[in-house]
Each structure stands twice: as structure tokens, then as C-alpha cells.
């Protein structure tokens, strides 16, 4: 079934969608120079999540232009997603979470990601913001208001698709009260931390860190649009709270004024954070 048909199903269920770049043979096929973890996960539209649509006409326009685009579902009010990242010990953390906090995750819609991780969809009456990390548990991120997730049957950069397990046929359920409490808990953490190899940028260092990342990408010859797209991912995944899109755009524009330079040997490569 074509991607457009899945996108139409999502909006019919009340979930806004946005077209994302897509991979082919481990590379980004959209021609915008996305690299590594950004491949297959960056919005293709000019204004990112602001361009999400809930109309059939919007879906037809987007996937008419990009028929193979992956599907991003923007988290609507009343929902949030617990994102388990297998690359940062998410399975270990989710077990420790339930044992330490003395509760169990209730059965709900669970998506298997292309990397082997999981997305647990939950309902809640609380407003859960999009944050980079569930405090204290590496590999467990929260996708809430202002965030999005890659949705089935999108293709991961490794060639595997996001899937809804065939054993599940129930609805999205109410989140455990303890999980909601943890999502709302203030981040009592220092100005910068690194958990399970994934750095979190907080207020006071976000702009500087994104500028450094942008500079590294520019030296490698990436265009302004490619830098902006990659910074959007880092901003959503590693900045708490995320910077305004206009600030990310200004960083990309400012850094792109400099001429690309050959990358110095030993300089670390840019990495995204999804």
C-alpha cells in the first residue's frame, strides 16, 4: 500500500502528519544532504512541524510531491509517546524504571521502530511537553506537545520498516499515573549532562552547542538547508526545552555564510540524536 494511503489513515484517526525524508541504500534520498541519524527523520517542508496537515488535500499535496516520503505523526493534545531507544540501553532503562518506581506499563499501542526500539503511545489529561529525556533513565525519551514520531510503515536508514505488532488490536490506553508524574517532574540536573553517550543541551548552552554542530557541518560542505534540517533534529531530540524554529534557522543562516573547509583529521563527525 502506498505511503499516501497510510498518511490518509492517520489523519482520519485525528493525527496530524508531516512528510519526512526517506532513505535508500543507507543514504538520504531527498537530495538535501541529511547524514547519519537524521536520515529518514527530517521534515521535508519549509516550516517543519508547523506545516503538519489534518486534511486529505494536504496529504495529497505532500505525498503527490514526495510519494516515497516517510510519515511523521505530530503528537496531538491528549497524547504522548514513551520512546525507547535501543541504541542507548532503552530496554535496560525501561526495566529499571518499572522496578525503581514500583509500577508497570499498561498495555497500549506499541510501535516497533526500524532500529529495534519501541514507541509506547499513551493518553493523558495532562499536558506533556516534548522533552529530550525521561529524567534519570538513558534511552527513554518523551515525545509530547511540540514533538513528532516516525510512524509505520516508514523506512529506517537500515532498510527496516516501523511496524505495529500484529498481536495488538486494542486502543491507545491511559498512561499509568506514575509515568505521567515522571514526565512532569522538573529536571533537577546540571547545565549539561551526558547519559548513555547522548548529550543533553539545556538553557544557557543550546545556542552555542547548535552553532558548534552547524560549524562542523559547514566545514564538511553541507548547505544551509541541510544544516537547518539536521539542527532541527538535534534541537528536538537534545535541547531541553527546544529552541524556537526561528532561532535554529538563524543559526543555520549565520554559519552558512562561511566557506566550507576540508575537515581536519581527527575532528569528530556530526551526529544526530533520534
Q: Give Cα 182 distance to the centre of its chain.
A: 20
Question: Which residue ranges form the domains of the chain, and what is each CATH number?
Answer: 1-74 (no CATH), 75-147+158-188 (3.30.2250), 192-255 (no CATH)
- Percent of the chain past pLDDT 90, that is, above it, reads 39
What value does the CA radius of gyration of the chain take, rounded to a whole number of Å? Answer: 18
Range of lowest pLDDT (4-18, 135-149, 235-249): 235-249
Residue 238 has pLDDT above 80, yes or no: no
Does residue 97 contact residue 134 with C-beta atoms inside 8 Å?
Answer: yes
The pLDDT assigned to 204 comes to: 61
pLDDT tens digits for 10-69? Answer: 999 999 999 999 999 888 888 877 777 788 998 998 888 889 999 999 999 999 999 999
Neighbours of 115 (CB within 10 A): 17
Give the residue carrying C-alpha cell 532541527.
232
pTM of this prediction?
0.71
Residues 6+ apart with CB under 8 A from 55: 11
Amino acid at each position: 500500500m502506498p505511503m499516501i494511503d497510510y498518511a490518509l489513515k492517520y489523519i482520519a484517526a485525528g493525527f496530524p502528519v508531516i512528510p519526512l525524508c526517506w532513505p535508500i541504500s543507507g543514504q538520504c534520498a531527498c537530495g538535501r544532504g541529511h547524514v547519519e541519524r537524521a536520515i529518514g527523520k527530517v521534515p521535508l517542508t519549509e516550516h517543519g512541524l508547523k506545516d503538519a496537515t489534518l486534511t486529505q488535500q494536504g496529504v495529497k499535496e505532500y505525498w503527490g510531491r514526495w510519494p516515497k516520503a516517510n510519515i511523521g505523526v505530530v503528537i496531538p493534545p491528549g497524547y504522548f509517546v514513551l520512546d525507547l531507544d535501543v541504541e542507548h540501553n532503552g530496554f535496560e532503562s525501561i526495566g529499571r524504571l518499572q522496578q525503581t518506581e514500583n509500577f508497570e506499563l499498561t498495555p497500549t499501542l506499541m510501535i516497533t521502530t526500524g532500529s529495534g526500539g519501541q514507541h509506547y503511545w499513551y493518553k493523558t489529561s495532562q499536558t506533556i511537553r516534548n522533552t529530550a529525556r525521561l529524567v534519570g533513565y538513558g534511552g527513554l525519551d518523551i515525545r509530547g506537545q511540540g514533538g513528532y514520531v516516525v510512524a509505520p510503515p516508514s523506512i529506517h536508514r537500515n532498510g527496516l520498516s516501523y511496524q505495529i505488532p500484529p498481536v495488538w488490536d486494542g486502543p491507545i490506553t491511559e498512561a499509568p499515573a506514575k509515568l505521567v508524574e515522571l514526565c512532569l517532574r522538573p529536571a533537577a540536573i546540571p547545565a549539561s549532562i551526558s547519559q548513555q553517550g547522548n548529550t543533553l543541551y539545556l538553557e544557557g548552552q543550546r545556542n552555542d552547542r547548535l552553532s558548534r554542530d552547524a560549524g562542523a557541518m559547514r566545514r564538511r560542505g553541507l548547505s544551509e538547508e541541510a544544516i537547518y534540517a539536521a539542527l532541527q533534529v538535534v534541537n528536538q531530540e537534545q535541547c531541553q526545552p527546544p529552541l524556537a524554529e526561528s532561532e535554529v534557522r538563524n543559526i543555520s543562516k549565520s554559519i552558512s555564510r562561511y566557506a566550507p573547509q576540508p575537515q581536519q583529521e581527527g575532528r569528530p563527525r556530526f551526529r544526530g540524536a533520534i
